[in-house]
Each structure stands twice: as structure tokens, then as C-alpha cells.
Amino acid sequence: MELQHREALSALRLTWAPTADDLWHSQGALHVRGMHDRPMADVMAAFGDAEREADSSPLGVVVRGPAGSGKTHLLGQVREQVQTGGGFFFLVELLDAAGFWQSARAGILESLGRPGSERETQLKDLLWELSSVAHISRANRRAVIGDDDLTPEILNDFVNALHKVHRHTVKRTHHTLRALVLLGAGDLELQDIGEAFLTGNGEREAWGLPAPTLTAQESVRDISRLIALAGPSVLALDQIDTLLAQSVDRTDTAGAAGNRDLEQVAHGLMSIRQTMRRTVGVVACLPAAWEAIQDRATATVQDRFRTTALLQGLPTPDVGRAIMERRFTASYSSIGFTAPYPSWPILPAAFDEATQYTPRQLLKRVDTHVRRCLDHDIVDELASLTAEAPETHENSVGGAAPGDTGELDRRFADYRRRAVTVAALDPDGEDTTMPGLLSAALDAWITELGEAGQAFRPDPLPGQRVVLHGRLRQTLDATTDDERHWAFRAISSGNAVAVQNRIRKAWEATGFNPDRRRLFLLRNTAWPKGAKTAVIIAEFEAAGGRVLPMSEDDVRTMTALRDLIDDNHPDLPEWLRRRRPAHGIGWLRAALGDVAGDPPPPAQIDVDAELATGPIRTQPPAPVIEHSPTAVTLGLESPGGHPVSVELAALRKHTAIFAGSGSGKTVLIRRLVEECALRGVSSIVLDPNNDLSRLGARWPENPPGWSPADDERADAYFDNAEVVIWTPRRSTGRPLSFQPLPDFASVIDDHDEFSDAVESAVAALEPRALIAGNTAKAERSRAVLREALRFYGARPSVSLDGFIDLLADLPTEVSALSGANKLAAELAQNLRAATVNDPLFGGAGAAADPGVLLTPSPGYRARVSVISMVGLTSDQQREGFVNQLQMALFAWIKRNPAGDRPLGGLLVMDEAQNFAPSSHTTACTHSTLALSSQARKYGLGLVFATQSPRGLHNHIPGNATTQFYGLLNSPAQIAVAREMARVKGGHVPDISKLRSGQFYVALEGNAFHKIQTPWCLSYHPPSPPTTDEVLALAQRELAAR
């Protein structure tokens, strides 16, 4: 088989069992007209009735059909048309007959977190519509839907405004309305509060919520009444066959229990119309399941539903062929492959027999043929669907593989080593990171089983409302859709309320049953203390639940599997069957070890040996990059490998970096500083975490992934860049202080320059001397200060202490003002107090002169001044220092603009949200915003880096034309970053799954690029230096070359 044919067939992913997640994706690419048109029309006619009925619900609709006939796909079409028509769609999976309304509530809340017709979620669509009806301000609407910060006052105003429009409904449901708004807030804590009320737990009076007393059915009732104010809805119950199959097949001795299950389901279905408003109930099930409800349940549930025509197999050969052609075309196009004909390798004539198949049977038959072609490494064009498929044999574990197993071994080892484990084990990141990791682990585990894996499938990734992180399903009986489930939820939070909520939600979503429904909680640390938490853990374990640890080694393997699956290498399935890495994951082995018997021991991958065989390459060799003297190469475009650069002049318009822990943010900052230094541009780098203090240290040995071309760049950097570490308030390093008195001696002979120096000193000393306002005393004090500076500045040498001594005993010839001595003495006392309260004011150490910080010693092209904050131990000290530095820098660049140079210098601010936050004003907020607005005119570029885009003052990204978006873990931060990217005209869909060093970059006037950034040229080990190591680095002597 040719390589391009193998890659094309390997890329085919024929899914014949649609999941709940598939319903929320666009249906246009795969839907074929002519399938089930009549049942679809029946459902939409009932939806039209709901649209017209303001206070009641129409009869429901039952969609019946055999397994694989397209019931779930039809619901996907319903969802798309309902949302297009301005309605809301809710999907419910019944897992426990006795918990019908608990399942309904969970399904509705989960569906509210799914994409809406206009906005990211249906909940945002709902709240926007309700806030529009309430006629509140646009700014408050953004807060209500979660795009801006929510306050109790805004929430109260919204509820009261909606109450004026819909008094009866809001009076009965205002607590539920408040909880829905909190559920949609950007703050995770507020989400927990809202969800706790809606699900019957917790009390948060500050937000107007009492202790929850509503039953699940009452909660659904209130939610439905509020939704009805915004539009009609459909409540779809899919996959109820899995639950009912166990009731239909009960033995006589368990018949009473089976009938009870059927009765409970029937009662729940019957009460949909009474409980919900403007809602169509749609039940999709097997014919036998509905017959059992009719025959064995006493409730007259059939009187509340219309039944559609029975779904059958494929109506025509053309429909069967179109189903396959749409799927093949989409897959082939995604990899740039042009097939000989649309259904290749299934000949068009083969579809003449398609009417003998259901859609699922057709997909399975075609998939079997494709897998056979891959297994035998041949392209065999199928001429008949009904012809018996030749028997195939799996390659045995350890047998020969058709592809380059060594290459996949090297990739796997590289991905494991580079894995960012902190995100998966962090409370803020687990809901964005863990679902993808569990999905990859379960996918790989299934593939490793070979033929036995066909009975298993994982759940798709969850929507915005995360309840479970993963679930594995095993089909026990395909004709009745009877299944066995293993559900998984990681919980790393240390907050007792959050832990309790997560366990309850996971328990509810699992339908706990020791035989068929198992739940595993993944946690490495002890549970929070407290009686409530202890009780729920005890109940969980007594019911058969298990708590399993997840080691860092497990997370590394899961991350590597996720990245390998994303690469979609054609030989990956065979590699997985041979190596079986997922079977080596500790928690997965503990949960599933008894499912498929005792598998052969997984092949061991000798990582060190694999790495020793040669350099690791996760992509083709990098192209030779021509480095421009006026542009910085940021990285290589992914995919494609084309260099992406930014002009030095564009950096005048500032840079913002939004990325979290493990993203490669620090490496990117360092490389940007290094590349600027190579072009003669000096930098001032604020280092709050010691991450940047080694900018002057060489790598002891090149890190994995190092480009050989960077050897020469590194040599040039260390030859031409002078790195100086400054340590304000630490005399054992290289202390830095602010000296308010200029060098008067150097300008004493020039009257104008001497006057400017005096005025500069007056401006620096006025606030310290507590001279403020325009009172008579302030004017006289200002005059005495100015005259004293003129007198003192004429001396051959000056110091702040000497000037204070002069003020304390002012010579009579200094000023002719009456009372000058008394005013001067007060100024002296104020200035002396300032030196005590702020050791940086006139203290020991070099002057924090921007000219010194940005000017290299002779023989160097650029100076990199790293200002370590090891001596600034409080937020107030750091903010005050940064404020003084920025004011001095602003004054300096005005006197020393870049002129014709593309870039005069850089100021780098890591953890920028601490200095210019969005929530409050700090001592350095105003100077930061002033630089952000004005510095570009003088040629100074600013680099703001933060792992909290939500916490950064919105003025800063608005003034940054170059923006980087890297890995983020917190849902709230991800949402803000995506909105920022959207405003810039870009899209960052996989920001929570980016690898270390991968960024989306937005350049002025260009589309977004996804790039892989290179290593920094200076030494950057996993751990930052200690305080003692920073001080040692700062003590290095400076010398001209």
C-alpha cells in the first residue's frame, strides 16, 4: 500500500454509535436528506405547538426504532432546528429509574452549558434574553451572563427588574433565577454556590439565596418556567433502553422490581407536561422498551405521547452511499488527500445492497473493510457489502509492525518528559485538562485490546458544565443497548463544599450500581476535614465507590498518549497494541483490571535507550532561519514550519503574553529579551519569582529539542549582552536605590541645565516632603525647598543626607522668606522620616537610573538589567518600587527617545496582574497605564506577561498589538483569553490543550498564527534559583571589554 493511501485510510474514524456529545455538533456535514423525514416533521410540529402555547406543554413524541436505525442522529437534527428557531434543547440520560427527576435536572443543567444558538452556552443565551426583557443596562447584562464580574447589587437589580415584567413567575422562581445567574458566573466559587442551591445543597445568604429546600422535580419546574419566558424547549430522553433493558429482561423472581422500574419511568414521563412549561418531551427508544412501558406500567403514559412511524433501515441505495461519501470526503479533505472517487475504497455499485442495512450496520461493515485493508497493507476495493468478509488476525503482542515503531517510541518518550503534570492535579485546571487526558487513556486502552475492544467506547468530552471527567461503556447486548459503565472523576480541591458538590454530582450522573454502574474518584491528597465530608465519603465507599490515587507518572503517560493521538500517526494503533502503555497506568489498571481478563504484560519502553538512539524529532528538521537585524523570529508555524517574525519597531506598540504554568511562558520571555539584546536593544526585566535571574548563565548541556542552529546564537548572545542582576534592599547582592538629587556638579556651568536639574529634584522631593496642594504654607514650603536646592547644588559633592542636614539648620543667606528656618526644619523632618520608612529612598546602592540600567559597559551591544525582588518582601514594597522605577523611566525616555532606532529599549513585567490588576488600584497602576499609553512615542516597548488575563487591567491588552496565547488551565481564564482573541479577530479553540512552547500569536495586521517557540539561549532548569543563588549571581563584577 502506498504511504498516502495508508495515511488516508488511517485517518478514517467511522463512529457508528453517536454519543450525547455528537448531538451538540453541527449536523450539516454528515446529515443526508431523505433519512427519517416524517418522524422529524412530527417532532418539529410539536415544537411549533410549544412555541404558540405560553403557559402549557403539548403532547410529547416517541421516536421508536431498532438499534442503529438513527434515533440519536435524529435528535441531533432536532437540536439544530430547535436552536435555529430560537428555542432551547435539553438532553437527559436516565441512569436510575427512581431518580427520574434527578437525572432530568442534571441533564438540563449540563445542557445549559452546551453551545447556544448565539453565544458560547445556552445558559448565556437564556440569561441574555431574560436580561433584555428586564431592560437592564448593557454593562449589567454582560455581568449577568458571566462576561464581566458579578456583584450582589447587579444580581439584585436584575431580579427586581425582571420581576416588574413577569411578576407571577419571578415571585415563585426568584431564588432559582439567582442560582442560574451564579451558575453562569466566571468565578468558580460563585458557580459552586449556584449549583449547590440548584442541586439541593449549601446556603449562601450574601447572594440572596436561602437554604435549598426544592426537590429535583420542583427545581426543574422553576427552571422550566424561567426558560419559558425566553422561548420554547425540547426535553429529549435518549438511551433509556440501557436502563429499561434490565427491567424487561428480569426473571420472574425479580419481576416486581422490574415492574417498579418501569412504573417509575412511566410516571416521570407522564409528569413532564404537568411539571414543565412550553416544553416538548421527546423519547427515543427501542420498540420493545416502549411496548414494555405500555404493557407493564399502570400509568396511562401513552395518552401523553404521540408515536411516530417506526424508524427502519436505509430507504434507498443513494442514501447509503451519501452517508459514506460525506464521511469519507470530510476525513480525506482534512489531510489533503484526493480520493479516486468519493466512496473509495467502497465501489459505488456495492451500495446497491445498502437497503439491507441500518445506518449503524453499514458503518460497521465499511469500517471492517477499511481495518482489513490496513491490517493486510493492501487497498482492496469492496464490490459487495453482503459478501462475507475474509477472516483477519490481529498481530500478536510483540509481533512485527508495518511502521516505524522506534519513531513512535521516541515521540512517546519525548512527550512523557515534556508533560505538564501540574495542570491535571490543580483544582483550577482539572476540569479543562483532565477530561482530555482520561479520554486519551481510555481510547488507547480500548485500542490495546484489539478485537475485544470493539465492545467498549468512551464518553465524549463534556461540555462547559463538567460533572464526570470520563466514562467507559461496555455493550453487553447490542439489540437492547444494555451496557456496563465505569465513571471517573478527579477531585483535587481542598474546599469541603466544593468536594461535596463534586462527589454528589458525579454520583448522580453515574446512576450508582455495583454491578453495572461504577464510580471512581481520583485523588492524591487527604479529604478536607469536617463531618459532612466524612459522611459523604463513607456513604460513597459503602455503596461500592472507590478512591484511587493518580501518580505523576500516570499523568505523564496520559499526556503522552493524548499528544500521540493528536498526531494521528498511521501506525499508532499497531504501536498501541504492541506497547500497551495504557495498561500500565496505575489507576486504570486498578479500575479495569478484571474487565478483559489478564492481558499479556505490556511491552516495556526503555526510554533512556530510545533517547540514546538519536535526537528526538517530533516534526521534520527545522528550516534554516535567516535572522534579520530589524525583526525577531518568534518561532515556527505549526503546521508548516514557516518562520514567524515580528519587526522590532512593532514591539514599540507593546506585547502581552497570556499563558499559565507549564506553558513555556518564561522561556518565551527570555528568548524575546535575548533576541532583542542580539540586535543591540537593552532591557529592564522585573523578576518577581526568580525565574529570570539566570539570563546571564549558559546551558551546562543543551536541552532536548535544542536547535543546533542556536549554538551560534547563544555564543553571540553571551559575547554581546551584559546581564546585570540588581537586588533592591539586599546589600549582599547588588543593591539599587532611588537617589532624588541629580549630579549638579556636571551641569553647574550651564545655567539652563542647572535649573532643569533643580526642578527635577524639586519634583522628586515634593511628595516625600509632604508638600501638597496650593495653600499658602505649601507655596512657601515649595519656595524654601527650591531655594535650598539651588544653594546646596552649588557644592562640589551632594547627598540626600547632607541636604537634609542643610534644611535642619538652614543658613540665613539661603532664603529671605519670613519663617524659612521653621519651614525648612519641618521639611527636614519629613524627608528624614521618608528615608526611615522607605530604605530605597536615598539608601545604599547604585541609583535606579534608567540610563544606567539600559546602558551597557564598553564592548557590549546591550545590557539586560534583571531586577530581582528577593529583597522586596511585601506587595506594598514591590508596588512602590515599580512605581518609582516607572516614573523615572518615563522621565528618562522623554529626554532620551529612540529617534531613528526601531526600538530604544524594553521593560518586561512578569506577573503583570499583580502590578496593574483589574480589580483594584495599586501604587503602580497609574504609572503602568501611563507608560502603556505614552511609551511607544519615545521608542520604549513594554512586555506584559500574566497567567491571569482576567486579573489584568483591560487597558493593557487594548494597547498591546503583539499578543501571545499559551496553555491556560482555569476555565475562567480560558474564557477571558478566548474573548480577547475574538476581539483581535482570532480563534484559540485548543488553548487548554496546547503543549509547552506552543502559542497562538497575533501580530498587527496579520491573522493568528499557531507557532512552536524555540528554547531560550540562557540556562532555564525546572526550578528557579534560591535567594542565596540570586545574590551570588548579583555579585558578579562588571567590567568593560
The pLDDT assigned to 1033 comes to 93
Cα–Cα distance between 808 and 802 in angstroms, integer? Answer: 10
Average pLDDT over residues 498-505: 88
Cα–Cα distance between 575 and 447 in angstroms, integer? Answer: 10
Helix (H, G, I), strand (E, B) or coil at 670: helix
Q: Nearest-CA neighbor of 484 among 245, 268, 658, 322? A: 245
For residue 477 the three cell numbers come to: 447486548
Least confident of 115-124, 248-257, 334-343, 525-534: 248-257
Q: Is 203 a residue whose pLDDT tops 90? A: no
Q: Is 784 a residue whose pLDDT tops 60? A: yes
Walk across the sheet containing 470-477 and list its strands: 456-458, 470-477, 482-490, 517-522, 546-548
Average pLDDT over residues 371-388: 85
Q: Nearest-CA neighbor of 497 among 195, 245, 292? A: 195
More confident residue, 195 or 112: 112
Average pLDDT over residues 373-391: 80
For residue 176 the three cell numbers come to: 432559582
Average pLDDT over residues 603-613: 46
10 Å CB burial of residue 455 (0-12, 13-18, 19+) is middle
Task: Give the pairing type, strands 546-548 and 517-522.
Answer: parallel
For residue 367 the three cell numbers come to: 469500517
Q: How far is CA 429 from the centre of its chain?
A: 7
The pLDDT assigned to 601 comes to 56
Average pLDDT over residues 153-161: 95
Cα–Cα distance between 918 and 909 in angstroms, integer? Answer: 16
414-449 pLDDT tens trace? 888 877 777 677 777 788 788 889 999 999 999 999
Average pLDDT over residues 286-300: 78
The pLDDT assigned to 615 comes to 34
The pLDDT assigned to 809 comes to 92
The pLDDT assigned to 969 comes to 76
Cα–Cα distance between 998 and 504 in angstroms, integer? Answer: 37
For 266-270, the CB contacts below 8 A with 24+ separation are 266/293, 266/297, 266/298, 266/299, 266/301, 267/100, 267/297, 267/299, 267/301, 268/100, 268/101, 268/104, 269/60, 269/237, 269/293, 269/301, 269/304, 269/305, 270/299, 270/300, 270/301, 270/304
936-962 pLDDT tens trace? 999 999 999 998 888 899 889 888 999
Least confident of 236-250, 460-474, 564-578, 642-656: 236-250
Cα–Cα distance between 67 and 899 in angstroms, integer? Answer: 74
Cβ atoms of residues 528 and 499 within 8 Å: yes
Distances (CA, A) of 789 to 712, 776, 792: 52, 20, 5
Distances (CA, A) of 718 to 511, 666, 699: 62, 19, 11
Least confident of 383-397, 466-480, 753-767: 383-397
Distances (CA, A) of 1009 to 632, 645, 966, 1002: 15, 11, 12, 7
For 177-183, the CB contacts below 8 A with 24+ separation are 177/130, 177/226, 178/207, 178/208, 178/209, 179/209, 180/112, 180/123, 180/126, 180/127, 180/223, 180/226, 181/127, 181/144, 181/150, 181/155, 182/150, 182/155, 182/207, 182/209, 183/109, 183/112, 183/123
The pLDDT assigned to 612 comes to 38
Average pLDDT over residues 601-611: 49
Using 50, 70 and 90 to split pLDDT, how confident is the model at 204?
low
Average pLDDT over residues 874-890: 85
Least confident of 244-253, 553-562, 783-792: 244-253
Q: Is 390 a residue whose pLDDT tops 60? A: no
Cα–Cα distance between 190 and 196 in angstroms, integer? Answer: 10
Q: Is 208 a residue whose pLDDT tops 50? A: yes
Using 50, 70 and 90 to split pLDDT, how confident is the model at 609?
very low
Q: Is 620 a residue whose pLDDT tops 50? A: no
Cα–Cα distance between 222 and 212 in angstroms, integer? Answer: 13
Q: Is 908 a residue whose pLDDT tops 80? A: yes
CATH number for domain 659-737+846-953+1016-1034, candidates 1.10.10.350, 3.40.50.720, 3.40.50.300, 3.30.565.10: 3.40.50.300
Cα–Cα distance between 586 and 132 in angstroms, integer? Answer: 51
The pLDDT assigned to 214 comes to 83
Cα–Cα distance between 317 and 348 in angstroms, integer? Answer: 9
Average pLDDT over residues 969-984: 77
More confident residue, 705 or 442: 442
442-487 pLDDT tens trace? 999 999 998 888 889 888 888 777 889 999 999 887 777 778 899 9
Q: Is 206 a residue whose pLDDT tops 80? A: no
Least confident of 79-93, 451-465, 611-625, 859-873: 611-625
Cα–Cα distance between 728 and 869 in angstroms, integer? Answer: 7
The pLDDT assigned to 437 comes to 92
Cα–Cα distance between 827 and 860 in angstroms, integer? Answer: 43
The pLDDT assigned to 610 comes to 40
More confident residue, 672 or 617: 672
134: Cβ contacts below 8 Å, ≥ 6 apart? 158, 161, 162, 164, 165
Q: Is the pTM of this model over 0.85?
A: no
The pLDDT assigned to 995 comes to 83
For residue 341 the three cell numbers come to: 472517487
The pLDDT assigned to 57 comes to 87
- Please report where in the chains the cell 449549583 appears, as a residue: 195
Least confident of 185-189, 264-268, 289-293, 687-691: 185-189
Q: Is 28 a residue whose pLDDT tops 70? A: no
The pLDDT assigned to 392 comes to 46
Query: What is the CATH number assigned to the segment(s) 34-104+233-313?
Result: 3.40.50.300
943: left (phi over 0), alpha (psi -120 to 50) or beta: beta
Average pLDDT over residues 724-749: 85
Cα–Cα distance between 476 and 232 in angstroms, integer? Answer: 37
Cα–Cα distance between 863 and 802 in angstroms, integer? Answer: 32
Helix (H, G, I), strand (E, B) or coil at 306: strand
For residue 484 the three cell numbers come to: 456496563
Using 50, 70 and 90 to split pLDDT, how confident is the model at 183?
very high
1033: Cβ contacts below 8 Å, ≥ 6 apart? 693, 694, 696, 697, 725, 1025
Cα–Cα distance between 599 and 520 in angstroms, integer? Answer: 22
Cβ atoms of residues 378 and 6 within 8 Å: no
- Please report where in the chains the cell 519670613 appears, as a residue: 818
The pLDDT assigned to 961 comes to 92
Average pLDDT over residues 244-266: 61
- Mean pLDDT (the chain, rounded): 85
